[in-house]
Every structure is written in C-alpha cells, then in structure tokens.
A = this chain, B = another copy of it.
Amino acid sequence: MSNSRSLPKRERILDVAEELFALHGYDGVTLRQIAKGAGVDVALASYHFGKKLDLFNAVFERRAALLNSARQDALRACQLSAGSEGPSVEQIIEAFLRPLELAQETGDPGWQHYLALIAYINNSPYWGPRMMSKLFDGLVGEFIAALRKALPEARDEDIYWCYHNLSGALTLTLAQTGRIDKLSGGKCRSADFEAAYNHMIPFVAAGFRQVCGRGTSS
C-alpha cells in the first residue's frame, strides 16, 4: 500500500498485510486485497506463508523479538542504574513504554501499523487469549516482578489489576483510533505517542501507588 516498490516481494506482502490487518482485523482483509496492495499475484502469499492464518501469525511474530529485546534492555538498564533497592515505579513504567516510541523513531511506518495490530489482537476476545501469551507473557512477568519489588506492601491481586489498567490505556493508544483528536477538538493528537506516554507514565505510576501502597520514595 505505502511501501517501496523495490523491496523483496515477500517483505512487501508482510508490510501490506500488517497495515490492513491492523486497520480491518483478520476477517476484514482478503488475500486479494493484500496481493493487490503489494503489487503481486494472490497465489504468492500462499507460496511464501501457506494459509491465511499462517500469514497472520507471521506478521504478528515478525517484529515481536525486536520489540521484546528493546523492552528487556530498557528494564535491565533501569535496574542497573538503580541501586539494590531496585528502580521506582515510574522508571519501570518508562522502560515498558518508551521502547514503543523508539520503534517509531526508526522512521519505518510499519512499526506503527504493527503496534496497532497488537492493540487489535490484545483487545480481541477471540485472538487475545490465543496469541498474546505466547510472545509477550514472559517479559510481562519480569516487569510485574520488578513492580512487586518496588511496591513491597502490595497484594498480588492489586498489582495485576493495576497492570491491567496500564495495558488498557496503552492498548487504546496503540490502536490510534483518533477519538481523542475529535473529543479534544484537536488539542490532543492520537499520533503523538510522546505526549501520550508523557501523560500515561505519571498517571499510571500514581495509580499504582494509590492502589498498591506508597512504594519506595525514590
């Protein structure tokens, strides 16, 4: 749809599928639309990826490792910079969110489509349970462990509900629906991830502290 004509065709299929799946969902996109967008015959998608569902999975998995290691690095870094008492809630949330922004800074518009695809999958009662755990639960567990250490008085149950709230705010941000643009009369823009995270980090950190106890004063 929006990609350089000279890339290998296999990658172009992934790029177009990524964009269309993120916008219309799995069933809202046909292999023919993807093929047309990539300037390619329909059968080529089947040749490279097999069934439609396999293509969907390939798109979802393509950038997952990169995203996970960026987040992992950010968590490790803030754990090192903090002393033995561990990083603050803000630092942990920051390590969770900022890598998503770095991904955007590469200039590859595909990253934004990919994040919107994650939002689609995570919010779907059908796809969410089938696809999210495998790729993301491991790292999420590490972040939650870090949060538990930063909030020693918290009950486990409270931490999970707070993480749920964080995940929801993030998901709606990644979905890029443009609703906040209209509601705010243009004062806020969905595409401005930096502004979104600048507001989300103190918002979520305050929520964690309220629900899970004051935590380390940092």
Are A161 and B175 in touch, CB under 8 angstroms? no
Interface size for A (C-beta < 8 A) is 65
Q: Is the interface of A mostly helix, strand, loop or mixed?
A: helix
The copy count of this chain in the complex is: 2
Encode A141-168 as 1/0 by CB contact (under 8 A) with B: 1001000000000001110111111111
A131 to chain B, nearest CB (A): 10
Answer whether residue A105 sits at the interface, using C-beta atoms and an 8 A cutoff: no
Interface residues of A in 172-215 (CB under 8 A from B): 172-173, 175-180, 182-184, 187-188, 195-196, 199-200, 202-211
Known: A24-B27, A129-B178. 14 other contacts (CB 8 A): A23-B126, A27-B28, A119-B123, A122-B177, A123-B172, A129-B177, A137-B183, A158-B199, A160-B180, A160-B184, A162-B203, A164-B172, A166-B169, A205-B210
